[in-house]
Amino acid sequence: MHKQQKINKKIALIGMMGSGKSTIGYILSKKLNLRFVDIDKKIENSENNSILEIFETKGEEYFRKIEEKITIREFNKNEEAVISIGGGSFLNKKTRNTILKKSISFWLNWKSETIIERIKNSKKRPIANKLDVYEIKELINFRAKTYVKSNFKINCENLSKNQIVKKILNIYEN
């Protein structure tokens, strides 16, 4: 990737719930000395409510509208940043096009079994809460067809957090 393209370009972390976007994003932002933005947190702050509560009281459609608005706003800011987006956000075409235009995107890819193990008992995740293991697997396969549109796919299985960060930095800095 040519250096010129990176000016004011953000790093976007894409992937399923439980793929480590927030953790990896935070470490990356420290290493690069950039602002770290966790879109889920931005939504919670702007709504003054937890993601779970927003889903329960206002429904998914409402959540997706706010998610689109906040995600696009963050990607349109004229500054560099590392941004971790919600697992469903990249499925929205308008959001995805903005992310692809404004950032270098990395899909944190794991085996379905690993993701399922991490999210199946999560109480905080409204999407995972209502699905059984088979349905989560279906969702992972379905979303993978869109996640693959990210600029880079990082196969994270068997890698430590630092190794994942190194892989991303190698691509970003070269």
Which spans of this chain sit near ligand S3P (rule: CB under 6 A)? 17, 21, 40, 51, 86-88, 125-127
Residues 165 and 26: their CA atoms lie apart, in Å, by 10
Lookup: tokens for 9: 């370009």
To ligand S3P, the closest distance from the beta carbon of 40 in angstroms equals: 5
To ligand S3P, the closest distance from the beta carbon of 120 in angstroms equals: 13
Question: What residue type is 28 in one-letter code?
Answer: L
- Check if the beta carbon of residue 103 is closer than 8 Å to that of residue 11: yes
Closer CB to ligand S3P, 17 or 154, in the complex: 17
Closer CB to ligand S3P, 109 or 126, in the complex: 126
To ligand S3P, the closest distance from the beta carbon of 1 in angstroms equals: 25
Residues 59 and 57: their CA atoms lie apart, in Å, by 6
To ligand S3P, the closest distance from the beta carbon of 91 in angstroms equals: 8
Closer CB to ligand S3P, 21 or 96, in the complex: 21
To ligand S3P, the closest distance from the beta carbon of 152 in angstroms equals: 18
Q: Sign of dihedral through CA atoms 92, 93, 95, 101?
A: positive
DSSP 111-168: -HHHHHHHHTT-SS-HHHHT--HHHHHHHHHHHHHHHTTSSEEEE-TT--HHHHHHHH
Closer CB to ligand S3P, 3 or 145, in the complex: 145
